[in-house]
Structure 1
Amino acid sequence: MSAIVRRPQLEDDQKFALMKFRKTVEDILGPDDDDYFLLRWLRARKWNIEAAEKMLRSAHRNKQTWIGTNWKEPQVLKEYLPYGLIGCDNEGSPTILVPFSGLDLYGILHCTSASEFVRKTVLLLEHFSKVGFEQSKTKGVLARQFVVICDMTDFNIKQYAWRPAAELIISLVKNYELHYPETLKICYIINAPKVFSVAFNFIKKFMDDYTRSKICIFNHGSTKWQKLLFEHLDPKIFPKYYGGELTDEDGDPKCKSKICWGGKVPEEMYTKRDDKNNNANYIDTVIEKGKKLKIELNCDIAGSVLRHGISAQNSFNEWDNCCHLFLSGFAKDNRAQAGILAPLTMTSALVLRVLTIKLVKAIPKCRSRGLSQTKWTRPATLLVVEEPSMLSCSTIPTVI
C-alpha cells in the first residue's frame, strides 16, 4: 500500500503559477519531475516564475556539467572523505552521518583538485536524491529531503584560514543553495566547540533562510540531539558510538564498514608538483610585481567549459597554493568569474578568451571581499600555468 503523498494546499494563484512554470521549463523536465519537484524551485524563489526558471535551468546545466560516465574518482576521496549513508528515517529520508573533524582539506587539496572535490559532492547529492526519490514512492514526498548529522568534535578552524580550503567550502555551500533548494529536512551539528560559532557565523551568510532554519547546533558533550533524532530515526540503524544500537559484525561501534571517518592524509599521497610527468603539461613564467599575464585562447566548440590549473613557487622553492586567479574576457555575453563554472554558449566558429592572472597572498589582518588577501610584495614570483594548448576550451567539465 502506497503512502499518502502529503502536499501543502495551494491557492488558486499558486496553482496557476505552478502550471505556467511547468510549461515554461518542460523542455528540460524528466519523467520523474512531478509537481513536488517544481514547487521546490518556486518556493525557493518566492513564486517568481522567471527567477525559478533561471534557478532550475542553472541546476540542470550544473548536473550535466558534473555528472559523467568516465570519471575516475581520486583515491584520496575514496579513502579520506568522511561521510556515510547509514539508512533512512521513519519517513524515508536518507540519513547521512559526517564525522567532520576527519576532513583534512589541506591534505585532500594537495592530492586532487577542488573541482574533483566539487564533482564528488555533486555526485553524492545526486545519489542521496535518488535514494530519497525511491523511498518517496512508498513513504511520501518528505523522503526526498535529507537528514544530516555533522560531528564537529576537535573542529580546527585553522584549517579553514587557508584560502583554498575556505574558498572550497564557500563554493560548496553556494552550489548546494543554488542547485538543491529545499532538500534539507534537518541538520544536527553536534559536539560543536566554542570556536565553531566563529566559522558558522561567517558561512551562514551564504545560506538561504530555509537552510539556516533547518540547522540545530549542540555544544560539545550535549546529548539533547539524540532524543530529537530518535523521534524520527530508529536507533537500531544508528551507530552505537553516537548513542544508537548499530555495530559492525566485529562489534565496532563506529560502524566503519558503513562510514568513512577520514583522517590525516599521508604526505606520501600528495601530488608532487615537480614530477617530470606533471611538468610536461606546464610552462614556467615570471610575473613581476604589479604586472599581468595574458593568454589568448581559442574555443570553437559551443557549450565547452574552460579548464585551467595554476601553482606558485615561493622564495623557499616550495610550491604554494596561496594564489588567486582573476578571469576576464567574453564569450558572447557571458563573463567568466573566478571560481565559477563558465560554459561557453557562443554560436560563432571562433571566440577569443583572455585570462588575466594576478597573485595575492593571504594574511590575517587585511580583508577584501570577505577574504583575507593582499598583493605579493616580493619583486618577482614564479608562476606555473598550463600550456595554452592544454588550456584551450574542452568539453571536459571542470571548475574554473
Structure 2
Amino acid sequence: MSIFWRRGYSLQQQEKEQPELQSESKVNELKAALGPLFGRSLLYCTDACLKRYLEARNWNVEKARKMLEETLAWRSTYKPEEIRWHEVAAEGETGKLFRANFHDRVGRTVLIMKPGLQNTTSMDNQIRHLVYLMENAMLNLPEGQEEMAWLIDFTGWSFTTNVPVRTAKDTINILQDHYPQRLAVAFLYTPPRIFQAFWKIVKIFMDPKTFQKVKFVYPKNKESLELMRSYFDVDNLPIEFGGKATMKYDHEDFSRLMAQDDVKAAKFWGFDQKIGSATAGYAAGVAVDPEPVKPTSVVAN
C-alpha cells in the first residue's frame, strides 16, 4: 500500500503513524484470508483479536490465519463461552484461582492463583475452571485493554498439590494457542526450590514470548520486588505478594459475582435464555439482574 505523507508532517509523526497503518493493513489481509465469518466467530474476531493473533505469529498473515482457525475450531467444540460458574464452582471453593478485585497500574484485570490450595483431582475440570476464569477475565477487561496479569502464590505448594506435567503442558498449550497475547506478566511469588525441577520441564513447552513474561519474585531480592511494584500499587497488592492489603477469598461472595457475570456473558454471546435457573440457584438464591450493575468487590482489602 502506497503511503503519501501530507506536507508539514514531521519525521516523528511519520514514524509513529507508519506502523499503525501497516498494522491496519495486516489486519485487513487477515480478514480477507479468513473469509466470511458468522455468529460467535464473527463476535470473537474483532480487529483487536486479529491483531493479537498477528502479533503472536510475528505479523505473518498465513500463520496467524492458521492459528486463528484452529482456535475457532477449538471454541466450536469446547464452547468456553458456554461454561457457567455452577459447573466449575467446586474447583474454586478453596480460592486456588480467582479474579482479584484490584487492577495493575495500567488497569489490567488480575488473576490470582494459589496452587497450594489444590482441592480436586480431575484434570479436565481443573482446566475447564481455568478456561472459565480466562473468559471471565476477558469479559471484565477495561475498554482498550487486551491483556491481564497473573499473581501466583506458592504458599503450601508441594509435589502432592502440583498438577502432572501432562496437565501443565495441556494448560500451557491452550493458553498459548487459544489466548495469545492475553498475558501481560505472570509473577511467581516465592516458589520453593523443589519447584525448580518442575519448572525446568514445563518451560520447554512455552514459546519464547510467553517465557519472557514469567517473572520470579523473592522477598529478599530487591530487584524482583521493584519489578513487581512497577506493575502494582503496594496499597492494593495483598500481603501475600509483598503489599499492604489484606485479602480474604470468600467463595459465596465470589459465586454471586460470577452469577452476575454469567448473565453478562450470556448477553454478550447472544444466548441470554440459556443460563436458566441453575446459575442463579447456585448463588444461594441471589437475584441476578438482567442488566447487572458493576459488582462489588469480593475480596476485602
What TM-score do the two structures reach when normalised by structure 1? Answer: 0.51
- Counterpart of 1:55 (choices 55, 58, 67) is 67
The residue number in structure 2 matching 1:44 is 56
Q: CA deviation at 1:213?
A: 0.7
Report the counterpart of residue 154 of structure 2 in structure 1.
152
- SS of aligned partner of 2:124: helix
Tell me the SS of whatever aligns to 2:49: helix
The aligned counterpart of 1:94 is 109
CA distance in 1, matches of 2:183, 2:230: 17
1:188 and 2:187 correspond = yes
- Matched length: 232
Q: 2:98 aligns with which of 71, 84, 88?
A: 84
Instruction: Using the TM superposition, give the Cα deviation of residue 116 of structure 1 relative to its aligned residue in structure 2, in angstroms.
Output: 2.2
- Report the AA paired with residue 131 of structure 1: N
User: Any stretches of 5+ residues in structure 2 without a counterpart?
Assistant: 1-15, 254-301
TM-score (norm 2): 0.66
Instruction: Report the Cα distance in structure 1 between the residues aligned to 2:88 and 2:208, rounded to whole angstroms.
Output: 34
User: Matched residues in 1 for 2:244 and 2:85: separation?
Assistant: 37
Provide the C-alpha distance between the structure 2 equivalents of 1:89 and 1:167, rounded to a whole number of angstroms: 31
Which residue of 1 is the match for residue 123 of structure 2?
114
Alpha-carbon offset, residue 216 of structure 1: 0.9
The separation in 2 between residues aligned to 1:71 and 1:84, in whole angstroms, is 12
- AA aligned opposite 1:54: K
Q: Does 1:27 align with 2:37?
A: yes
**Does the CA contact (< 8 Å) of 1:188 and 1:225 recur in 2?**
no
Q: Work out whether residues 191 and 222 of structure 1, in 8 Å CA contact, stay in contact via their aligned partners in 2.
A: no
- Residues 155, 32 of structure 1: CA spacing in aligned structure 2 closer, same or farther, 3 A cutoff? closer
**Alpha carbons of structure 1 residues 78 and 153: separation in structure 2 relative to 1, 3 Å:** closer
- Residue 193 of structure 1 contacts residue 220 of structure 1 at CA under 8 Å; is this kept in 2? no
* Alpha-carbon spacing, 1:194–1:56, altered in 2? closer, same or farther (3 Å): same
> What is the Cα-based RMSD across aligned positions, in Å?
3.0
Cα distance, 1:243–1:158 mapped onto 2, change above 3 Å:
closer
Quickly say closer, same or farther: Cα 1:199–1:257, change in 2 above 3 A: same
The worse-fitting range, judged by mean Cα deviation, of 56-65 and 89-98 is 56-65
- Given candidates 47, 62, 73, the residue that maps to 2:87 is 73
- Partner of 2:198, secondary structure, is helix
Q: 1:48 to 1:83 in 2, by over 3 A?
A: same
Greater strand percent: which structure? 1
Partner residue in 1 for 2:248: 255
Q: Secondary structure at the match of 1:91?
A: coil
Residue equivalent to 1:319: none
Counterpart of 2:25? Answer: 16
- The 5 Å alignment of 1:1-400 reads 10=19, 15-25=24-34, 26-27=36-37, 29-31=41-43, 33-64=45-76, 65-67=78-80, 68=82, 72-74=86-88, 76-80=90-94, 82-86=96-100, 87-104=102-119, 108-109=120-121, 113-132=122-141, 135=142, 137=143, 141=144, 143-157=145-159, 159-160=161-162, 165-219=164-218, 222=221, 224-247=223-246, 254-257=247-250
Checking the alignment, whether the CA contact within 8 Å between 2:108 and 2:149 is kept in structure 1 is yes
* Cα distance per residue 1:24-47 (max 9 Å; x no partner): 334155357443321111121222
Q: Aligned with 1:144: secondary structure?
A: coil
**Larger proportion of helix:** 2
In structure 1, list runs of 5 or more residues that go unmatched.
Answer: 1-6, 248-253, 261-400
For the 8 Å contact 2:235–2:245, the answer to whether it is kept is: yes
Q: CA, structure 1 residues 167+31, in 2 after alignment: closer, same or farther (shift >3 Å)? A: closer
Taking the aligned partners of 2:93 and 2:243, their CA distance within structure 1 comes to 25
- Compared with structure 1, are the counterparts of its residues 259 and 238 closer, same or farther at alpha carbon in structure 2 (3 Å cutoff)? farther
**Counterpart secondary structure, 1:157:** coil
Percent identity at matched positions? Answer: 19
Contact 2:92/2:251, CA 8 A, preserved across alignment: no
Corresponding letter in the other structure for 1:233: F
Match for 1:44: what amino acid? A
Instruction: State whether residues 150 and 187 of structure 2, in contact with CA within 8 Å, keep that contact through their aligned partners in structure 1.
Output: yes
Counterpart CA distance in 2 for 1:85 and 1:210 is 23
